[in-house]
Amino acid sequence: MCGLTGFWSPGGVNAPEAEALARRMAAALRHRGPDGEGVWLDAGAGIVLAHRRLAVIDLSPAGGQPMMSGSGRYVIAFNGEIYNHQELRDELETAGQAPAWRGRSDTESLLAAVDAWGLPAALQRCVGMFAFALWDRKERFLWLGRDRLGEKPLYYGRLGASVVFASELAPLRRHPAFDRPIDRQALLLYLYYGCVPAPWSIYTGIGKVRPGTLVRFGPDPGAEPVTEQYWSARQVMESGLRAPFTGNVQEARQELEERIRRAISLQMVADVPVGAFLSGGIDSSTVVALMQAQSSRPVQTFTIGFTDPEYDEAPYARKVALHLGTEHTELRVSSGEAQEVVPRLSTIFDEPFADASQIPTVLICRLARQQVTVSLSGDGGDELFGGYNRYVWGEALWRRYAWMPPFLRRFMARALVAVSPGTWDRVVAPLRSLLPPRLRYDTPGERLHKLAGLLDVADVDAMYQRLVAVWPQPGRLLVSGGRLRESGAQETGGRSELATVAERMMYRDLVSYLPDDLLTKVDRAAMTVSLETRIPFLDHRIVEFAWRLPFSMKVRAGEGKWLLRQILFRYVPPRLVDRAKTGFAVPIDSWLRGPLREWAEDLLSEEGLRRENIFTPAPIRRAWEAHLAGRRNCQYQLWAVLMFQSWMERLHA
């Protein structure tokens, strides 16, 4: 895992000045690669590649970057891992197309594959996570690429006469031509989703390479880049739904387990210590169980526990670790210790980001890095195997009220919101014990208010949008107003007549929520402490098989991840992992009313909100005051504004 940056000025560059600039830009990525630095440039062509290395495979200088291919045609700055790179080497050697190998790195294997087959064909053979900048010295093409699911980030844009690119935004801000205002459409999207979705960045004229996509800049400096999608989640979805798996449950379980086992086996390969995050839930427990089943010694596992028992998953993880026999490390933190992370979040994430589970994610990555350099994660299980509650009740809810006339739905919605969330909580509290466990929500009033918002939507996609919205009408918060356009994920085409309501939601999560929120969170939190994370469920062969599985094998009797549970239960008793889904939560709502109140009040003050002439204070102040008074729980909306304000404050410090 590494960091990369660079620029291309087709008119040529002054070599000493360009190298010095590249090193300054790369220095902003030192946390992503503390083990080495490299710069390669061609002054006449105007291309400069810079790299920071976290050594994981082939720790020798032979694995250093930027790296040139055996033919001398290609030079690459690469971030990520090609898990099947040894298979690529074997194939090249069998075909007589292998170069004289200089080392054992997966980057060298990828370059040899590109030399032999060309870039798109080479990527089709690769299993891995990656982002890269590849310079073709013969054609004078600059290629930027990103892995299929979006595990690794890559920003790019034009600054003056140069094309610039980097793993994070910080290196681009060090370029002397950087003078980019905030993109108001990106800000609207951020306030709506709590993150900035690809292909946007928070800055005008700077974008993100989409997952599964190549961007090619040619020798004409004024021409628009050519974009090529080498892997399509939409095509995978529709192909899987057209040709579903026809075997029985036992055959499906065996096939899925074998694919997950194979992915984990590849991802356990490293020349540095490897461990795993363990929450004690279905996803992480499955990953750890299959790791331990293939390991000759106890796997190192890591869990963060909280002194607040309502948010503490550590006891569950401890029981799973004990049953599997892992070498388990648990760190219990107080609310105060967790809150100490908050002032650093804007630096860690480098772009406004408002998923509050970023706090425990930073803490667990910090814990794991004390003992390992690589940690496997269970992310992706919910999106692929039906883990979110909305998959369970979304279709039933839509069928239940879609037939109603719009006026009747609006009437019901108004009736629900006429009662405050707090009052609903008190009304429902005596009945909580009578409800099934999956419906025993801690804040039923907030859920009912959210349901009211769903009653007035036109179609399934609008229902999904309303479900994931942080600020449903973000334009009301901005001085300039503005209307929300569709996000990048939507532009890839989320609708399919083949998919059910739940499957359409799963697809949308796979191409938007997963890469833009969850994978961004894990990447930034891990790389700030130079920890490489690997995600077995996102092996594209597992993703493709998951879309062939009938929905009934994912959600059954109101329970998500049904088939995944059947695999896990072969290794871990159900009593250790069967419980209501909680997520990686922290009590932001009470923190904002208590220990974080002074910090939040400063950022949400009338003066603070007006400082940059971006926000209209009134709606934000109303939400803040209602939250403080306990009339509403506005933690998610307020956290989005706070993370943006904190980010702006850091930039202007």
Q: What is the 3-state secondary structure (H, E, C) of 394-420?
A: HHHHHHHHCCCCHHHHHHHHHHHHCCC
* pLDDT confidence tier of residue 478, bands split at 50, 70 and 90: very high
Q: Which residues, in sequence order, are CB contacts of 47 under 8 Å at separation 6+?
A: 6, 7, 8, 41, 135, 142
Lay out the sheet containing 374-376: strands in order across.
327-333, 300-306, 274-277, 374-376, 532-534
Cβ distance 526 to 375 under 8 Å?
A: yes
pLDDT score at 272: 97
Least confident residue range of 157-161, 459-463, 499-503: 459-463
Angle at the Cα of 94 from the Cα atoms of 93 and 98, rounded to 5 degrees: 20
pLDDT of 293 strictly over 80: yes
pLDDT confidence band for 490 (50 / 70 / 90): very low
User: What DSSP state is assigned to residue 308?
Assistant: S
Cβ-contact 68, 49 below 8 angstroms: no
Q: Where are the extended beta strands (E) located within 413-478?
A: none
Determine contact, residues 511/211, Cβ cutoff 8 Å: yes
Pairing of strands 47-53, 36-42: antiparallel
* Residue 438's pLDDT band (cuts 50, 70, 90): low
Give, in order, the Cα–Cα distances in Å from 302 to each of 248, 522, 526: 36, 15, 13
Cα separation of 253 and 257, whole Å?
6
Higher pLDDT, 459 or 60: 60
∠ CA 57-63-55 to the nearest 5 degrees? 45
State pLDDT tens for residues 106-138.
Answer: 999 999 999 999 999 999 999 999 999 999 999
pTM of this structure: 0.93
Token pair for 584: 């990686």
Burial 351-370, CB ≥16 within 10 A → b, else e: bbbbbbbbbbbbbbbbbbbe
Please give the domain boundaries of the chain with CATH numbers for all domains.
2-230 (3.60.20.10), 234-385+502-577 (3.40.50.620)
Q: What is the pLDDT of residue 488?
A: 45
pLDDT digits (tens, 9 = 90+) for 230-281: 999 999 999 999 999 999 999 999 999 999 999 999 999 999 999 999 999 9
Pairing of strands 206-208, 36-42: unpaired
Total residues belonging to the chain: 653
Task: Output the six-digit token pair for 436.
Answer: 């099934």
Q: Which token pair is 421?
A: 């969330």
